[in-house]
Structure formats: structure tokens, C-alpha cells
Structure 1
Amino acid sequence: MKNETKKKSLEGKVTLGVGVRVAKSVEIGMAMKASGYDWLFIDTEHGPFNLETATQISTAALTQGITPIVRVASLEPHLSTRILDCGAQGIVLPHVNTAEEAREFVLICKFPPEGGRSHGGGLPHAAFSALPPNELLSGVNREMLLVAMIETPEAGEQADEIAAVNGIDVLLIGTNDLSTGMGIAGQHDHPRVNLVYEQVLAACKKHGKTPGMGGSYAPDMLERRIKEGMRFILSGSDLSFMVAAAKRQSEMIRSIEI
């Protein structure tokens, strides 16, 4: 049941995630673990996954040493609770702009007394073991990782209040949506983007939460942000990695003179 990503985050260590956008087989967790990643970011907001596919990837990951985290599309309860019942160890909620939304997120995902989630029986997190209910539910609550995405200037302004919500573990800046919404798409070093990073870092430091980033993958920018304090790092996706490696290989072969 142990969530190694949460453990490392609480210790202040950098953890690396990979977006799962196109891979639909359970081997993706094993492959990404072998490649040095800590967590899968199974994307049901932008990816093609149904519940069954996300479940298969998540339950396999539980035995592969890599943390299955699922990004849902919205705050609708069933989007989070069903995949949590089916193996996810964390949920990413996009477009969190207020502390009220963050509190509702926690209420949906956590079992009582921390939340209001219904208990449907055995859980894969404990290998479907017949544990006493209090032991099972408290353990799942303890190991669950809840991630609030910060993707607007308004969310940056509310970062302190969002980070103060009990049960929220990570504030993850979605740099692409943030810059796009500002009308400065791709300008990840713009002063307005930097301000949101500063707001999130300060809020997380104040409330003992983990600051994270995604959507900004240039090596120099990653190095800078990690040195500034970012710790929960979405490093790219299976699709982007596959395209980059395939392009590099094809260009190398086509460059051979015959």
C-alpha cells in the first residue's frame, strides 16, 4: 500500500513523473520504472483512456514499483472515486482556482473522517486483503496523493489558501495552460509566469506542501525551476518521448551517405 512518491515528496526529494497519453498496455509502468521515473501521470483529461484501461495500468503499476496517478477531467465525483477504487494512488485535478474547490476535491477523494467517499469493498492497494475496515481506509487515506493544478493567474493569487487545505499534497503548475491563458503561450520565462511560480513556492513552503511543475521541458528551465524549489516534476509524456527518439533515429540513419 506504500506510496513511495508521497514518501519522497514528504522528505523534500525530487520525484519524476511521465505522462501516459497513448500507451495502453500494462507494460508502460515497468518500462518507465526501468527508465528512472517515480510516477505515472495517466491522463484521462486529454488522453483516450476509459476506466478499464486506466484500471489495468494502475493496478499493474502497484506491483511494478511506480506510483499510478490519474489526471481526471473535472471535479465530478465519479471521475475520481471510481479510479481510486480501481487502483490509483493519486488524483490530479486540473483548473483548481479556489480553496473551496480544493476542499471539495478532498471531500470527494478521502474516506471518512477526512472526506465523504463511499467504501465499496476490497481494494487493490492492499492486494484485496481482508483488512479491518478502519485499518484499510486509514491506510488508503494516508498514502493517497492529491494534486491541485494551478493553471491561471487567479489560482496563483489563491495559492496560499489552496495550499492551506488539509488533504492537498501538491500544487502542480500547468505551465502551458497558464501561459496560454495569459495570452503569452510558450513564454515560460515571462514575468507573469514567474510570479505564479513564486506564489506557489511560497505557499507550499508556508504550509508544508510539495510544489510541482509540468508543461515546461527545456533542460535549462527544468534545472532552474528545480533549483528554485520545484520537487514534483512532470518530465514529459510517452508520446513526446517516442516521437523524439524515433525522429532522432530516423535522422541519424538518413544522414548516412551511400
Structure 2
Amino acid sequence: MTINSMKRKLQEGKCVYGSWVRIPSPIVVEALGSVGFDFLHIDLEHSSIDLPMLDYMVLAGYSQDIQLIVRTASQNPADLYRIMDIGVSSFILPRIETAEQCAKLLQGIRYSPAGARGLGGPVRGNRWGVISLDQHMEEAEKETTVIVQIESKEGLANLDSILEVNGIDVIYIGPLDLSQALGYPGQVEHPIVQETIHSMVKTIRDKGIAVGIHASDTEQAKYWAEHGIQYFTVGMDVTLLQSAGLSLMNSLK
């Protein structure tokens, strides 16, 4: 398992920046992984990326030394350690609504005694058995990053108890989903949505856990960095491609 430099930066109180990948291609990971992001979110929840393709994308991430964080599509703990065996060390867990649900998923991420992740023998996650089992288990505990996404009324209501679950590194806020949960779909700048985010940031930071958010642009990222958020996603492969294409076409016209 490679050293998680992104996690180190968070622990040092620094901001980290990444983007979303939904296009099922290792070339996208190579291209975006070369521009200086701290991490990339590989989105299994809202894309056609499957496990064989993820395998290739993980190898592309290794080639660029970029931290890949997988957003899962299922609520099955076994799916998590299957993904970890192919070399993924970090997850963003969507639709977390209760502490019990969160704790069950984290069981699939961590080895005994903290969890119930299965020992798979020689896998990419332990360099195909080259490193010792003890070293692999130590690295897995140290280098894994767990990001929990709160995006519903139930998640908001249970935020305090979710924060008590051991092993959470970041609580990630999706403003679009949050706006819908609060009854203002798409209105991320609505005062109630903004007040809710500020309240969440204070509650989460008071527990010593980092806060993440998706920022629509650099100005929004700067604003939230000034208000206690450290972990940012900005942009997405599809929108970055569209934006570049539109800019080119507008200049040609």
C-alpha cells in the first residue's frame, strides 16, 4: 500500500483538492492525475464504471502517484474489501443516515479487531504477498481514509451519533443533495442551506474530524476554506471536457 500523502496533509491541518471521475477510462485518471490534484474521486455511484474497469483505473492512479478515493454504489461491506484488495485504500461512503449503518460499512474496511475485512492472501493491496501480513495490516490501518457523505434529513438528524463512529476521517457535504433534503432543490446558496452547512462544519470540527465539500468554483472553495473546510472537490471530468470544448468553439466562432 502506498503512503497516503493526502491523509498526511489533512492531519497537518492543510487543505486538499481533488476532482470527480465518471468516465470509465484509465486515460482520464492518468490525465487528471498529472495536473497536481491531491486526489481523485472515482464515482461508482453515478457512472458505468465496474470492477474490471476500476482495476485498470487503479493502475493508472499508481502510474501518476495520485490518491484514488472510490465512491461506492452499494451498502455491502464485502464490496469494500474487494475493492481494497485491488489496491484502493480510501472510500467516500454515500447516503449515510445512521451510526449503525456507518459502523457496519466500516467493518468491511478495517481488519480485526477493529473490523471484519477478509484476508485475501496475495492481492495488489499487499503487493501480491511480497510484504508480510503484519506489515500489510499495519499499513492498511494507517493509510486508509474514510470519508462519510451526509446528504439527507436522516443523516443530518443523526449527525452527532454518526460522528461517534470510530474511524471516520472526513465528513463530506454534497450541497446539491443537501439542498434537496432541506426542501430547496438546487438552491445551494439559499440562506437555510448555507446556515445548515455552517452549523455542520462547527459540529464536525468540534469533534476533531475534517470537513469536505464540493465547490462549484475556486471562489466558493476559497470561501469555505476560510470557514473551516479542508477537503475539496472541484469540477468533474465530464464538465471539464465540456468546458474546454465550449471555450475552444467559442474562440473559433
Pick the TM interval, shorter chain: over 0.9
Alignment partner, residue 231 of structure 2: 232
Alignment partner, residue 14 of structure 2: 13
TM-score w.r.t. the length of structure 1 is 0.91
Alignment partner, residue 139 of structure 2: 139
Question: Aligned equivalents of 2:208 and 2:62: distance in 1?
Answer: 26
- Cα distance change, pair 204–63 in 1 and its aligned pair in 2 (3 A): farther
Question: Aligned equivalents of 1:150 and 1:191: distance in 2?
Answer: 19
Secondary structure (helix, strand or coil) at the match of 1:73 reads: coil
Question: Aligned equivalents of 2:63 and 2:140: distance in 1?
Answer: 16
Q: CA deviation at 1:233?
A: 0.6
RMSD: 1.7
Structure 2 letter corresponding to 1:245: A
Does the 8 A contact of 1:69 with 1:88 survive in 2?
A: yes
Alignment partner, residue 111 of structure 1: 111
Q: CA deviation at 1:177?
A: 1.2
Question: Aligned equivalents of 1:43 and 1:118: distance in 2?
Answer: 24
Alignment partner, residue 53 of structure 2: 53
Alignment partner, residue 169 of structure 1: 169
Question: Aligned equivalents of 2:46 and 2:204: distance in 1?
Answer: 27
Give aligned pairs, total: 252
Does the 8 A contact of 1:157 with 1:199 survive in 2?
A: no
Alignment partner, residue 248 of structure 2: 249
Alignment partner, residue 148 of structure 1: 148
Moved over 6 A (4+): none
Gaps of 5+ in 2: none
Question: Aligned equivalents of 1:150 and 1:202: distance in 2?
Answer: 15
Secondary structure (helix, strand or coil) at the match of 1:127 reads: helix
Question: Aligned equivalents of 2:128 and 2:64: distance in 1?
Answer: 17
TM-score w.r.t. the length of structure 2 is 0.93
Secondary structure (helix, strand or coil) at the match of 1:128 reads: helix
Does the 8 A contact of 1:175 with 1:213 survive in 2?
A: yes
Does the 8 A contact of 2:43 with 2:70 survive in 1?
A: yes
Question: Aligned equivalents of 1:126 and 1:11: distance in 2?
Answer: 27
Gaps of 5+ in 1: none
After superposition, give the CA deviation of every residue in 1:35-56 in whole Å (9 maximum; x if it has no partner).
2211111111001111011121
Does the 8 A contact of 2:78 with 2:117 survive in 1?
A: no
Question: Aligned equivalents of 1:4 and 1:120: distance in 2?
Answer: 25
